[in-house]
Structure 1
Amino acid sequence: MDTLKVANNTARELFLESFLAKAFSEGCPFAVWKKPGQSLVEMIMDRDPKAFTSPEVDLDELPEGFMIHPFLNSEVYEPVYIKASRYERIFLGESSTTDEGDWSSNETILEGSATTVRNKIAALPVGPNGSPSKKADFLATVANAIDHIQSGDFYKVVPARLKKLRLSPEFDLARVFLELCDAYPSAFVNCFFSETSGCWIGASPETLIRTKGDLFYTMALAGTQKAQGDNPLKNAAWTQKEIEEQALVSRYIVNCFKKIRLREYQELGPKTSVAGGLLHLKSEFLVDMKATNFPQLGSVMLGLLHPTSAVCGMPKEKALDFIKAEEGFDRSYFSGFIGPVNLNGETSLFVNLRCAKLENNEALLYAGAGITEDSVPEKEWEETELKCDIIGKFIQTTKSH
């Protein structure tokens, strides 16, 4: 399939709206995304209305498609896979030409596509997500977490909160997606839908794993502060709490390597990274799968890494027990992982962060905060507000709760 080159944002929006409207109207699961640092929007549609689900994930056995994996497998939420029955691409760079024989010449632009999509989202059933988190409850959870850490129960835990916003009558999914692409060029901007998962939109800063050719890649991302000034990277100053929080995530990855006796890897960082108006500390890990004779490393590390200490805590089991006891909602696909699999010789899976679920004229925003013994409850609440705002300010909403 040739890449579609579109001259302006209006034309791109029309094509994307038409694609979304067609998928929704035909009841087809779909995924739309832009990888970090790239200028291509990629789109797939599964002609089978029932995207297939499986409790096991073996990347090497999957056809070309898009993975949607929950935070935890359950009877309600299980991994969903959208097959690439149809695959399209839109070029976001400036161009005045359109390739011969591409989507523009065989796709009918549907009139009223934005309204069709908006109506389909409004009709989506409400999932068992629970009530929005109250500030007092979240502060109490953070204080409780600090007590557990000081008692030696775990080193770190990542409680999350849920925020609900009302979608405006003019909400336009395609426009919001393209605005996110423009605003967050280094994020994995995504939108996907299946009957099982529901409809989500997000701009994740965190790669879980990437495999391309013989190269395996993962990252440790933690620590959060607001980007300040004209040169936020230069102005960044990290506290001991944030440095230690990021170091815990890096050690978690190294421990996963140790479990499979992998000693030959390259570690880069930590360094300050900009993501959606926030700064994080990031370390990157690279492995040559051919040199280490480990061609299945992607699937193996996926099973070991998820859920990472960046979205759960350490030790994992005790942190999970705390999260299950304290959070008053089901995370479903928030802090799970999503992304294209075996497309163009590459698999790129990202942690589903900075995201919102769209249903029944509402946006359900999710955000978590990494708690260590040096955490301050009020500051952790403020951090979750900043994270919710990354998507919230783009989805044209007014507060309903």
Structure 2
Amino acid sequence: MSSATSEKVITQEQYLNAVFNYVLEHGFSLAVWRKPKSDQLEVIIDTNKDIKKLPLQLDKLPPGFVIHPFADQSDKKCYFLEAHTYLKIPLDGTIDEDGFFKKANKSATKESIDKLLRERSGKTGNQIDISSQTSFLNEVKEGIRLIKNGELIKVVPARNKYLQLKVPLNISGIILSLCSSYPNAFVNFIHSAHIGTWIGASPEILIKTEGSTFSTMALAGTQKAIGANPLKNAAWTQKEIEEQALVSRYIVNCFKKIRLREYEERGPKTVIAGNLLHLRSDFIVDMEATGFPQLGSVMLDLLHPTSAVCGMPRDKALEFISDHETFDRSLYAGFIGPVNIGNESSLYVNLRTARITDQYAILYAGAGVTEDSDPEKEWEETEMKCDIIGKFLTDPILN
């Protein structure tokens, strides 16, 4: 915040522009995030030219940011951005110039940053097949058929959607607008030459460890938030209630696998995420009382990919996804987040996300399919989920 001794105060957008320009000019990697209900942005800059891959042992990782794709890694490693520079940016008020800002190029504009960002984010080319409505509906119908035959309990088909980026992106303004619009989401922006450029606002935590406390959540069921008080207007169908219960049972079964019986379950309750509502249950464990200090790493291995983004049984659902999806999910439905910063690690499922390339933004969304699913409604659900990020990338007022 400003003080009498400061030479100059700047806005959050000016500071972020300096960060982005510094990182892009030098070919570095970075992660920017805002935790749910937080009043500050956090930034990590990794000055390595090549991104590291490290074992998923949370208690042994240095301070940094974990990035893991949807598909399991055979080497059981994650991409890792090391915190060579760590910055905090308050979202309220103005900011004093600091050492970092003074050494950065302060003349950068949104146009010059956008040009560098597109150049360093990779070409769209033919890397990603576009999901058609017909192919998605057929995939949902096949999933329903297999569920009715008893071969699956639930499956989560996904799709992608292209948005052409016609004007320069004001990426700093978009991030700040996401923070304002989605206070309960994990707003994030990631850039690395190896994995590309991603932006999102995820509603779902995968695991969190803070001191001796471990927590995770079961999030499923989707409907549009309607009216001045959407939480009071929510009415859940049996299909949505059962879908969320399946995710909760999946977490409990993971606890049973490691013979963990001492946990607290809260919910389910209705929560708001942007313009959507979901059902959520929270699970909390005291790692000190249970004598399980490695619970975060153990549960991470058991949970991912969760039934909320994959299905049940997991192996059968993964086989279905591999056989029917025509595109690579890449980081979508993987997990991302800061680790060992301030005695806390928070990893989120990478949902409500978009990849930015030289010409396009590629949006990703999935829908939980059960026996009672309606294919057309599942398509509509993915449209709503894509719009959560997509509308910010194409809003002429923001850009």
Give the TM-score normalised by the residue count of structure 2: 0.93
Residues 342-396 of structure 1: CA distance to partner in whole angstroms, max 9, x if unpaired?
Answer: 0111000000000000011210000000000000000000000000000000012
CA contact (8 A) 2:68 2:336 kept: yes
Report how far residue 78 of structure 1 moved. Answer: 6.9
1:296 aligns with 2:276: no
User: Structure 1 residues 265 and 78 mapped into 2: Cα distance closer, same or farther (>3 Å)?
Assistant: closer
Q: Cα–Cα, structure 1 residues 113 and 57, in superposed 2: closer, same or farther, change >3 Å?
A: farther
Q: Is the 8 A contact 2:10 2:94 kept in 1?
A: no
The aligned counterpart of 1:91 is 90
Q: Distance in 2 between matches of 1:89 and 1:216?
A: 25
| Cα shift at 1:45 | 0.2
Using the alignment, how far apart are the partners of 2:266 and 2:73 within structure 1? 36
2:70 is matched by which residue type in structure 1? F
Q: Is the 8 A contact 2:69 2:332 kept in 1?
A: yes
1:132-175 deviations in whole A, cap 9, x for unaligned? 11101111110010001001111000000010101132311111
1:356 maps onto 2:339 in alignment: no
The alignment status of 1:235 with 2:208, answered yes or no, reads no
Which runs of structure 2 are paired with 1:52-131 in the superposition (5 Å)?
A: 52-54=52-54, 56-73=55-72, 79-93=78-92, 95=93, 98=96, 103-104=100-101, 106-123=102-119, 124-126=121-123, 129-131=127-129
Alignment of 1:137-148 (within 5 A): 137-148=135-146
| Matched AA of 1:19 | V
Separation in 1 of the partners of 2:292 and 2:88? 32
CA contact (8 A) 1:166 1:397 kept: no
CA-CA distance at 1:273 after TM superposition: 0.4
| CA pair 349-12 structure 1, distance change in 2 beyond 3 A | same
SS at match of 2:341: coil
**Alpha-carbon distance between aligned partners in 1 of 2:123 and 2:149, rounded to the nearest angstrom:** 39
Name structure 2 gaps, 5 residues minimum. none
Question: What SS does the corresponding residue of 2:364 show, helix, strand or coil?
Answer: strand
Partner of 1:291, secondary structure, is helix
Choose from 343, 353, 378 the match for 1:345: 343
Show CA shifts across 1:188-241 (max 9, x none): 000011122111000000000000101001000000000010000000000000
Q: Which amino acid in 1 is paired with 2:194?
A: T
Change (3 A) 1:97 1:42: closer
2:151 corresponds to which residue?
A: 153
Give the equivalent residue in structure 1 for 2:132: 134
User: 1:17 aligns to what?
Assistant: 17
1:51 aligns with 2:48: no
Query: Is 1:370 the counterpart of 2:368 in the alignment?
Result: yes
Q: Deviations over 1:17-59 (max 9, x none)?
A: 11011111111110000000101100010111212014x3111
Q: Distance in 2 between matches of 1:103 and 1:28?
A: 15
Cα distance, 1:280 vs structure 2:
0.1
Q: 1:244 to 1:4 in 2, by over 3 A?
A: farther
Name 2:306's counterpart in structure 1.
308
Residue type matched to 2:123 in 1? V
Q: What whole-Å deviation, never above 9, does each CA across 1:99-156 have from its counterpart, x for those lacking one?
A: 8x5645x443421342232112322323664221110111111001000100111100
TM-score, normalized by length of structure 1? 0.93
d(CA) in 1 for partners of 2:354, 2:77: 18
**How far apart in 2 are the matches of 1:190 and 1:245?**
27
Counting only pairs closer than 5 Å after superposition, residues 165-204 of structure 1 correspond to structure 2 as 165-204=163-202
Partners of 1:17 and 1:79 in 2: how far apart?
28
- Structure-1 separation of matches of 2:350 and 2:105: 31
| Contact 2:21–2:105 (CA under 8 A) maintained in structure 1 | no
8 Å Cα contact 2:114-2:170 kept in structure 1: yes
**Partners of 2:11 and 2:94 within 8 A in 1:** no
CA distance in 2, matches of 1:138, 1:397: 27
Give the alignment of 1:213-252 within 5 angstroms. Answer: 213-252=211-250
Distance in 2 between residues matched to 1:35 and 1:109, nearest whole Å: 27
Distance 1:97 1:143, change over 3 A: closer
SS at match of 2:392: coil
Aligned with 2:218: secondary structure?
strand
Percentage identity across paired residues of the two chains = 52
Show the counterpart of 2:31.
31
